[in-house]
C-alpha cells in the first residue's frame, strides 16, 4: 500500500465546513498524534472561518486545492451524501488516505467504484461509521460471536429523532436525503456486524409528499432462522437502543447506539418440558398461583436483575475521535483498510439498503 510517510503525527485535511465537519474537528483534539493541518471549502471565507475556529494551519478555497496539499496525510470527507463518491475519488486520485462520512455513498454501485479506485491506487479508505469503533459495540459483537447468549436468534434495533420537516434541509432532500441514508445505515450496519448479509429483505416506508422516506421498518432474514428487525424515523423519538436475543440470554445496548457507553447481559435459563406453564388458568397449582401473585412477579423481576450484569466502556473524546484513531492505527500498521469496518462490508451494507428501498418500492 502506498501510504503517506507518517511520523508520530498524522496531518488531517477536512473537506467541507458544515456541522459534521465542526464535530469531527473537535473530536480530533482528543486523538494522540492528530493534527488538523488544513480545511477545504467552496469559498475562501468559509474555509478561513473554519480554520480560525479550530486552529487549522491552512484554509483552501476549493476542495481540489485541499486534496492537492502535499502536507495532508488523510482527507476526511464531510460533504453532503450525494457528493461523497465524487470527493472520495478526488482525494484518492491525489494519493490521499480517505475517511468518508457515512453513508459512504448513495448505493452499493457508487461504493464499489470508490473501493475499486482506492484498491487500484493502493490508498487507505474507510467509512466513518463511528458506531463500529465504539468499545461497547466491539465488545458486544465479540460476546455474541463467542456464544455469550447462546445461539443468537434476533436483533432489534431502533434509531430515530423528531425533526421539523424542512424541504430545504439536507435530511429532506430528494437526492441524498431520507432517513434510511442518514440514520438507517446504523442499525443495518449493526445487523451486518452480528449476522452478515441477509438472504431476504422485507421493508415498509412512510414517504413524504416529496417522495423522501421519513420512516422505515425492515425485517432482515438470515440463514438458520436468524432475523433482524430495524426501525428508523425522522419525525419521532425511537428507543435508539438495540438488543440481541439468544437461546441463553439477551444483550442490550443502551442509547445512543450510534456511540454507546453501556451494555448489559441477562442470562436466561432454558425452559425444559414440564417445568411449568405460562401461569394461565390451565396451569393450576400453588406454584402457578404464586407466579401470578404480585409478590411472585416481584421475585421474578428480582431474579432477572440478579442474572443481569452491566458494563460501561467509555472512549476518550467523541465518536469522531474513535474513528480518527482507528484510521491512524491502521496507517501506522500499514494496513490497506480497517479490519473493523472493511470496504467489502461497507459495500454489502449499502447493498442491503438498496434491497430495503426496492422492497418498499415494490409495495407501492
Residue 350 lies in a domain: no
| pLDDT at residue 22 in the model | 97
Q: Within this chain, do residues 83 and 197 fall inside the same structural domain, yes or no?
A: no
HEC string of 227-283 equals: EEEEEEECCCCCCCCEEEEECCEEEEECCCCCCCCEEEEEECCCCCCCCCCCCCCCC
Instruction: Determine contact, residues 170/80, Cβ cutoff 8 Å.
Output: yes
| pLDDT at residue 302 in the model | 67
Residue 38 lies in a domain: yes
Q: How many domains does the chain have?
A: 2
- Print the domain residue range for 249: 135-268+307-314
| pLDDT at residue 83 in the model | 97
| pLDDT at residue 281 in the model | 46
Residue 241 lies in a domain: yes
Residue 284 lies in a domain: no
| pLDDT at residue 3 in the model | 39
Q: Within this chain, do residues 187 and 89 fall inside the same structural domain, yes or no?
A: no
Residue 346 lies in a domain: no
Residue 242 lies in a domain: yes
CA pair distance 330, 337, nearest whole angstrom: 7
Residue 282 lies in a domain: no
| pLDDT at residue 280 in the model | 46
What CATH number has the domain bearing residue 210?
A: 3.30.360.10
| pLDDT at residue 172 in the model | 87
Q: Within this chain, do residues 90 and 20 fall inside the same structural domain, yes or no?
A: yes
C-alpha cell at 249: 440470554
- Whole-model pTM: value is 0.89
Q: Within this chain, do residues 17 and 127 fall inside the same structural domain, yes or no?
A: yes
Q: Within this chain, do residues 18 and 43 fall inside the same structural domain, yes or no?
A: yes
Q: Within this chain, do residues 144 and 264 fall inside the same structural domain, yes or no?
A: yes
Reading the chain (364 residues) residue by residue, the pLDDT tens digits are 433 344 479 999 999 999 999 999 999 999 999 999 999 999 999 999 999 999 999 999 999 999 999 999 999 999 999 999 999 999 999 999 999 999 999 999 999 999 999 999 999 999 999 999 999 999 999 999 999 999 999 999 999 999 998 888 888 888 899 999 999 999 999 999 999 999 999 999 999 988 999 999 999 999 999 999 999 999 999 999 999 999 999 999 999 999 999 999 999 887 777 655 444 444 557 666 666 767 666 666 666 666 799 999 998 999 999 999 999 999 999 999 999 999 999 999 999 999 999 999 876 5
Instruction: Determine contact, residues 300/293, Cβ cutoff 8 Å.
Output: no
Q: Within this chain, do residues 93 and 189 fall inside the same structural domain, yes or no?
A: no
Residue 355 lies in a domain: no
Q: Within this chain, do residues 144 and 229 fall inside the same structural domain, yes or no?
A: yes
Q: Within this chain, do residues 74 and 110 fall inside the same structural domain, yes or no?
A: yes
Q: Within this chain, do residues 261 and 139 fall inside the same structural domain, yes or no?
A: yes
Helix (H/G/I), strand (E/B), else coil: 107: coil
CA pair distance 327, 341, nearest whole angstrom: 10
Q: Within this chain, do residues 145 and 260 fall inside the same structural domain, yes or no?
A: yes
Instruction: Determine contact, residues 214/208, Cβ cutoff 8 Å.
Output: yes
Q: Within this chain, do residues 105 and 162 fall inside the same structural domain, yes or no?
A: no
Residue 199's Cβ-count burial label (10 Å; 0-12, 13-18, 19+) is exposed
Residue 145's Cβ-count burial label (10 Å; 0-12, 13-18, 19+) is exposed
What CATH number has the domain bearing residue 332?
A: 3.40.50.720
Amino acid at each position: 500500500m502506498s501510504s503517506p510517510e507518517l511520523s508520530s503525527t498524522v496531518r488531517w485535511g477536512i473537506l467541507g465546513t458544515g456541522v459534521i465537519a465542526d464535530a469531527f474537528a473537535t473530536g480530533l483534539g482528543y486523538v494522540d498524534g492528530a493534527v488538523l493541518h488544513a480545511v477545504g471549502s467552496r469559498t475562501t471565507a468559509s474555509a478561513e472561518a473554519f480554520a480560525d475556529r479550530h486552529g487549522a494551519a491552512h484554509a483552501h478555497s476549493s476542495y481540489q486545492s485541499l486534496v492537492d496539499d502535499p502536507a495532508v496525510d488523510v482527507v476526511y470527507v464531510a460533504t453532503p451524501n450525494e457528493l461523497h463518491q465524487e470527493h472520495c475519488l478526488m482525494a484518492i486520485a491525489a494519493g490521499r488516505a480517505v475517511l468518508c462520512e457515512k453513508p459512504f455513498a448513495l448505493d452499493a454501485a457508487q461504493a464499489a467504484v470508490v473501493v475499486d479506485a482506492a484498491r487500484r491506487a493502493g490508498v487507505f479508505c474507510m467509512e466513518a461509521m463511528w458506531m463500529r469503533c465504539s468499545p461497547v459495540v466491539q465488545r458486544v459483537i465479540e460476546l455474541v460471536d463467542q456464544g455469550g447468549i447462546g445461539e443468537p436468534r434476533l436483533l432489534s434495533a431502533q434509531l430515530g429523532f423528531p425533526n421539523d420537516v424542512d424541504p430545504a434541509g439536507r435530511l429532506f432532500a430528494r437526492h441524498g436525503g431520507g432517513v434510511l441514508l442518514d440514520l438507517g445505515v446504523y442499525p443495518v450496519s449493526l445487523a451486518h456486524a452480528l449476522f452478515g448479509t441477509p438472504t431476504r429483505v422485507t421493508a415498509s416506508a412512510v414517504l413524504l409528499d416529496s417522495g423522501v422516506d421519513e420512516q422505515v421498518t425492515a425485517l432482515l432474514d438470515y440463514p438458520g432462522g436468524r432475523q433482524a428487525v430495524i426501525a428508523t424515523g425522522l419525525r419521532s423519538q425511537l428507543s435508539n437502543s438495540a438488543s440481541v436475543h439468544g437461546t441463553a440470554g439477551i444483550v442490550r445496548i443502551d442509547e445512543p447506539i450510534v456511540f454507546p457507553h453501556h451494555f448489559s447481559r441477562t442470562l436466561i435459563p432454558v425452559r425444559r418440558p414440564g417445568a411449568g406453564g405460562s401461569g394461565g388458568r390451565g396451569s393450576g397449582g400453588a406454584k402457578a398461583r404464586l407466579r401470578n401473585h404480585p409478590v411472585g412477579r416481584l421475585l421474578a423481576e428480582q431474579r432477572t436483575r440478579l442474572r443481569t450484569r452491566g458494563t460501561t466502556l467509555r472512549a476518550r473524546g467523541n465518536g469522531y475521535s474513535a474513528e480518527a484513531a482507528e484510521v491512524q492505527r491502521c496507517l501506522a500498521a500499514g494496513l490497506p483498510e480497517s479490519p473493523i469496518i472493511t470496504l467489502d462490508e461497507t459495500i454489502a451494507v449499502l447493498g442491503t439498503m438498496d434491497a430495503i428501498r426496492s422492497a418498499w418500492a415494490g409495495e407501492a
